[in-house]
Structure 1
Amino acid sequence: MATTTATPPRPRGHRIKGAALGVTAWLAGLLFVAPLLWMVLTSFHSEADAATNPPSLAASLTLDSYREFFGVDGGASPWPALINSTMASVVSTLLTLLLALPAAYALSIRPVKRWTDVLFFFLSTKMLPLVAGLLPIYLFAKNTGLLDNVWALVILYTAMNLPIAVWMMQSFLSEVPVAIIEAAQIDGARLPTVLGRVVAPIALPGIAATALICFIFSWNELLFARVLTGVVAETAPVFLTGFITSQGLFLAKVCAASLVISLPVLAAGFAAQDKLVQGLSLGAVK
């Protein structure tokens, strides 16, 4: 008759250490979440209550800030800006993935000569401060008629996110078994078929993680959107700055607008959180 050996209890010192680490993790989490919770609460206060010092937690709640943000009371509608941000972010992310996947394939599965130098070149393009390229890009957009055009942002965001996408996807695609690709090529699969039906499904978590990062960067971009757009192609971050006027800072309205504009990014993060975790762990040391 087989006997089972009971697991010895953990030493008291280990239990205390584990409890201390757990409490520390909760405190760190609350420290990061507290500003977001405060922003949510402030968005439901009136401007008078939001401007009090110290702020009042027991102030009455109201939806006036959200009503003004959505233009219910006759203000400017945020929908054109939200649509422009959605179009610029989604289209640029798709273009970035279409360009980054073959480049990452060439740098990982079928490495080109001196592929490490190529990766460094991609990364070096991110070392230039954005403001340094602002004037040349503005002049180019002006001379080509792309000022206040959402397609200018699509092209710009694609170029800005492509180096990061190639760098990330190169590490993800290096985990794809080469034997599967060689088997597909023996069966007569060409490069587009290999990329679309073999490599992409295997590296789907990494592709999803890359897409989410590119979408967040594009959605949150403000500098170029502020300079290159006016009325027609105004994006959500640019619309948000309209609540900071010469009359002062409308804190409750800014908090309400910030919360609404952050919802697409939060929704995308929650929807793809499992793929994001898998993707970011593909290149980890097992």
Structure 2
Amino acid sequence: MSTATAARSTRVDKPRKAWRPWGLVAWICGLIFVAPVLWMVLTSLHSEPDAATNPPSLGAPLTFDGYAEFFSGTGGAGPWPPLINSFSASIGSTVLVLLLAIPAAYALSIKPVEKWTDVLFFFLSTKMMPVVAALLPIYLVAQYSGMLDNISFLTVLYTSMNLPIAVWLMRSFLAEVPKEILEAAAIDGAGLFTILRRVVAPVAMPGIAATALICFIFSWNELLFARVLTGVVAGTAPVYLTGFVTSQGLFLAKVCAAATVVSLPVLIAGFAAQDKLVQGLSLGAVK
């Protein structure tokens, strides 16, 4: 008996020892991805002469002059209007996407409509065309409708861009909701909106949080349409960052400070919803 136990112990220990190097590989990959962000933050805390040295000086004195110049709007418009525009477009489009994607995913997963696979393919086909190919038609629509440099038009545009991927994600999440819970709610007399609000939403909250975070990141980082369709009034934070590339040169410390501030909302949202994101993505959206 002791020999069998020792053999089982040996068989169990071998996979653990074999997988230990992969933990080191994971840490190395994580550091490789995080290193540019840490380098950007460190450069933003240097003065312009120290940031421009080649090779860069790691032991240079730290200063917040770059952040002070960024928030004061030295040499141009302040950063607050672009940041507010980005928040408005990103949060507004994310809310609209969820309001449209959850009922659509419910119809495609829990209460499947006829030829639901064709519907899913139609949603996916809208992402097959290159974004730049739709730039001119969308610009003409905005021009003739008087919606150029309008944050509301940008919000609707971001909603249409993120809706297909949100429907695909939410369908995978809602497919994991136990059918018995829905049947019990229907037997108790709950209507469709009651089931969505009080049954489906709490159970699928990790998936909803993951979808919302992904849509928020896509909207916050979008540059092409924001650059072409906006100007002085509705310019977003990524568009504001492009203004740092001037004929006078590139002020590296100030650019890194601006990029750090613009990246903070996405990083904060990611850390705040980290557990929901991991739990949501493990429900089947990446199978």
**Shared fold per TM-score greater than 0.5:** yes
CA positional deviation for 1:184: 1.5
Q: Using the TM superposition, name which of 178-187 and 34-43 deviates more.
A: 178-187
Q: Which residue of 1 aligns with 2:249?
A: 248
Superposition deviation, residue 20 in structure 1: 2.5
Label 1:227 to 1:284 Cα distance change in 2 as closer, same or farther (>3 A).
Answer: closer
CA contact (8 A) 2:120 2:168 kept: yes
Match of residue 76 from structure 1: 77
CA-to-aligned-CA distance 1:73-114 (integer Å, 9 cap, x gap): 564211111111001000100000000011000000011111
Counterpart amino acid of residue 142 in structure 2: A
Shift in alpha-carbon separation, 1:97–1:46, aligned structure 2, 3 A: same
Answer yes or no: is 1:128 the counterpart of 2:125: no
Match for residue 280 of structure 1? 281
Q: Does 1:238 align with 2:232?
A: no
Q: Quick one: distance in 2 between partners of 1:114 and 1:164?
A: 19
The residue that corresponds to 2:221 in the other structure is 220
Instruction: Specify the SS of the correspondent of 1:127.
Output: coil
Q: TM-score, normalised by structure 2?
A: 0.92
The 1:18–1:175 alpha-carbon spacing in structure 2 relative to 1, beyond 3 Å, is closer
- Note the C-alpha offset of 1:40: 0.8
For 1:101, the equivalent position in structure 2 comes to: 102
Residue equivalent to 1:39:
40
- Counterparts of 2:10 and 2:34, CA distance in 1: 35
Residue by residue, what CA displacement relative to the aligned partner does 1:161-206 show, whole Å, maximum 9, x if unpaired? Answer: 0000000000000011122212222222211111111111111110
Q: Which runs of 5+ in 1 are unaligned?
A: none
Residue 53 of structure 2 corresponds to: 52
Contact 2:70 2:258 in 1 (8 A): yes
Residue 72 to residue 142, structure 1, CA distance change in 2 (3 Å): closer
The aligned amino acid for 2:235 is E
Q: TM-score, length-normalised on structure 1?
A: 0.93
**Offset at 1:12?**
8.7
CA distance change for structure 1 residues 72 and 84 in 2, over 3 Å: closer, same or farther?
Answer: closer
Distance 2:239 2:17 in 1: 50
Distance 1:251 1:163 in 2: 38
Distance (whole Å) between structure 1 residues aligned to residue 185 and residue 29 of structure 2: 48
Matched-pair contact (CA < 8 Å) for 1:69–1:75: no
Alignment-mate amino acid for residue 127 of structure 1: M
Describe the SS at the equivalent of 1:176: coil
Moved more, 44-53 or 198-207: 44-53
Q: Identical aligned pairs, as a percentage?
A: 73
Q: Which stretch shows the higher mean deviation, 86-95 or 176-185?
A: 176-185
SS of structure 2 residue aligned to 1:248 = coil
Is this contact kept in 1: 2:173–2:285, CA < 8 A? no
CA RMSD of aligned residues (A): 2.2
Is 1:261 aligned to 2:262, yes or no?
Answer: yes
Map 1:192-203 onto structure 2 (within 5 A).
Answer: 192-203=193-204
1:284 and 1:88 map into 2 onto residues whose CA distance is 25
1: CA distance, partners of 2:264 / 2:39? 16
Note if contact 1:68-1:75 (Cα within 8 Å) is conserved in structure 2.
no
CA distance 1:46–1:175, change in 2 (3 Å): same
CA contact (8 A) 2:210 2:276 kept: yes
| CA offsets 1:32-80 (integer angstroms, 9 cap, x no match) | 1111111111111122221221111122222111111101656421111
**2:209 and 2:276 in contact (8 A); partners too:** yes
